[in-house]
A and B are shown apart, each in its own frame.
Chain A
Amino acid sequence: MTMAMMTYLEAIKKGIEEEMARDERVVIFGEDVGGVKGGVFGVTKGLAEKFGEERCFNTPLTEGQIGGLAVGLGLVGYRPIGEFQFADYILPAVNQLISEASRMRYRTKGDWTAPVVYRAPYGGGVRGGLYHSQSTEKVLFGQPGLRIVTPSSPHDAKGLIKAAIRCDDPVLFYEHKRLYRLLKEDVPEEDYTVPLDKANVVREGEDLTVIAYGMVLNHALKAAETLSEEGIEAEIVDVRSLYPLDKETLVKAAKKTGKVLLVTEDNLEGSIMSEISAVIAEEALFDLDAPIRRLAGPDSPSMPYAIALERAFLVDEDKVRTAMRELAEF
């Protein structure tokens, strides 16, 4: 297998590019997505030139329209990818995502479908303040009909975006904006996909189980290496499929160590981890040796801008390590 060194961002771009070359029904659009700019982060840079301005184009600054345009294209056989410039800006489009995309198949019993992908950069730690830092996946979590996935490595980024584009369901594809250029690894140059409905055990261990995704998953992986030197071995699971959840993998990992730490950079209350906690409580309670623990951001409405405030919000590697050690020693 030929490998190429790629960042998380390059892997997403490569996946999209391969799918656009493979299937001319794939089109991509959003604010600043077309033209020479190719997105505010550069994910779609070069695609308009390569595939033409009809297949990679700018939209007016109208997120509801981006949401509905994608569904309409999906209805007539296209494989549209709508980009929301920031996951925070998905909010004006929630009506289209919930009322249309996630219900089209169900409300016509499969006569009409919405095979669309919505990409959205999420997550904090970039001095983005309240509206460029949020983890809005919980807003759309728990909408049957809609899938939400997020990669936490370059390998998964390429395989997941390709699977999302080929999927007949609407898929919300969350990209952690801090991982865009932070992560770099060897990624297969061949065609491959990563399943949209499977969590991934990324590290095996016997002492505690950490369940996370995105930036904080990467913190947990680093913390696990240092804790290993202390004799603590952590099992680490990347949720990856945020909705619907891969309950089987999550419960199995919880039962394996009997100690579960759920980490999210979102607020503590009402996050995806709240649901995972309920699932584990229902299905693994008698295998647990400690109460389920959640490590998350504080319940302030969003991540503030000033350095001290942003740091106070962020779940960083030290906080993850401390929580892991405490639980292992419980």
Chain B
Amino acid sequence: MKKLEASGLTTEEIIQAYRTILLGRRLDERLWQLTRIGKTSFNISGQGHEVGQVAMAMAFQPEKDYFLPYYRDMSACLVWGMTPKDILLGSLGKEDDPSSHGRQMPNHYGSKEHNIVSHSSTVSTQFPLATGVAYGAQLKKADYVTLTATGEGAANQGEVQEAMNFAGVKKLPMVFVIENNGYAISVGVDEQYANEKMSDRGPAYGFPGIQVNGNDFAETYLAFKKAADNARSGKGPTLIELMVTRLTSHSADDDHSIYRTKEDLAGLREKDGLTLFEKQLIEEGYLSQEELKAIDSDLRKEIDQATEAAERMPDPTADSILDQVYAD
């Protein structure tokens, strides 16, 4: 793995990255707890994707760049500006949930305020939308970049190929990411695609395709930085296949122990990007073990406070069922 300083980021930025990575983990753990005690109905998590997502998102300019995420992208959405309370409001189905005002299932992240576009559950429908957002930048002569994400299973949808093909034709200012955690619910990659790398599909549509190790913070950050810079400077799109680990079951309604091997499950801890990142932070002299613990303690408090605050917020009322079906 690359040294963290190779990223070119400052010490403060790297420590901030760690806070967000850990926040993503702790917040997701809270969502699982809320699901298990029946306060929310569902959770689908990005545990094992956090390092890659945070490194990815930090390469963009959230104040103007657009993000069309998929359901595991909580940590990237935190970088883009969403708060733990925003995420919790969604899982609890509250009126002030910025993603959907309590209308979508948990983990369907979006926020108009933060340029994060709402997504559906019919996977990868956001890809064609992202090309429209990106074409808008060309029409406006604006310098924003559009990032859109999906998983390696959903990347086989026809709309993904259609969108990437169009992006290649128009040299759109955008970045596609396929977060490859090796499983589409229970189905492994051998049954999902035959090419060696998902990233090979980039050149098939006339633009670069790069596979990066999502546990390698600096490598991931640099790859996305280059892709974002290329997009911003008119050089067209890039596809990045972000290799990550799925540490949990597919969702709260799944049990991965029935289809993953004992060896696979036993090896997960060693592939946990969070642990590897903490090891790097200590070895490379950014933070001590005590400082890591202090950050963890701060974040746990922050999440407790956010949970209490979110739970106190009002639910949507039944009489709003027909609000915003059409414009007035």
Q: Does B128 contact A (CB under 8 A)?
A: yes
Is A68 within 8 A of B159, CB to CB?
yes
Is A105 within 8 A of B136, CB to CB?
no
A169 to B101, CA, bound (A): 19
0/1 interface trace, chain B 119-159, chain A, CB 8 Å (1 if under): 01010010111111111111110000000000000000011
- In-complex Cβ contact of B159 among A74, A76, A96 (8 A): A96
0/1 interface trace, chain A 100-133, chain B, CB 8 Å (1 if under): 1001111111111100000000000000000000
Task: Give the A interface residue count (CB, 8 A).
Answer: 43
Please, which residues of chain B bring their CB within 8 A of the CB of A95? 122, 125, 159
B241 to chain A, nearest CB (A): 21
Please, which residues of chain A bring their CB within 8 A of the CB of B197? none
A68 to B127, CA, bound (A): 8
Leading 6 A-B pairs by shortest Cβ distance: A72-B132, A68-B128, A168-B327, A65-B162, A76-B136, A109-B101
A109 to B322, CA, bound (A): 10
Is A72 within 8 A of B131, CB to CB?
yes
Is B118 within 8 A of A111, CB to CB?
yes
Please, which residues of chain B bring their CB within 8 A of the CB of A27? 139
Is B327 within 8 A of A73, CB to CB?
no
Q: Does B324 contact A (CB under 8 A)?
A: yes
Is A80 within 8 A of B132, CB to CB?
yes
0/1 interface trace, chain A 77-110, chain B, CB 8 Å (1 if under): 1101000000000001001100110011111111
Chain B residue with minimal CB distance to A110?
A: B324
Instruction: Give the interface size class of chain B.
Output: 35 or more
A179 to B118, CA, bound (A): 39
Is A54 within 8 A of B166, CB to CB?
no
- In-complex Cβ contact of A169 among B128, B132, B140, B327 (8 A): B327
Q: Does B326 contact A (CB under 8 A)?
A: yes
Given A60-B162, A77-B136, A111-B112 in contact, is the A71-B129 Cβ separation under 8 Å?
yes
Is B138 within 8 A of A54, CB to CB?
yes
Chain A residue with minimal CB distance to B326?
A: A169
Q: Does B103 contact A (CB under 8 A)?
A: yes
Is B327 within 8 A of A113, CB to CB?
yes
Please, which residues of chain A bring their CB within 8 A of the CB of B118? 104, 107-108, 111-112
Q: Does B165 contact A (CB under 8 A)?
A: yes
Is B117 within 8 A of A112, CB to CB?
yes
Please, which residues of chain B bring their CB within 8 A of the CB of A74? 132
Q: Does B93 contact A (CB under 8 A)?
A: no
Is B120 within 8 A of A103, CB to CB?
yes
Q: Does A75 contact B (CB under 8 A)?
A: yes
Is A73 within 8 A of B136, CB to CB?
yes
Given A75-B132, A107-B100, A109-B101 in contact, is the A68-B324 Cβ separation under 8 Å?
no
Given A54-B138, A104-B118, A145-B326 in contact, is the A96-B125 Cβ separation under 8 Å?
yes
B214 to chain A, nearest CB (A): 26
Q: Which of B286-328 contact A (CB under 8 A)?
A: 323-327
Given A72-B132, A108-B118 in contact, is the A62-B139 Cβ separation under 8 Å?
no
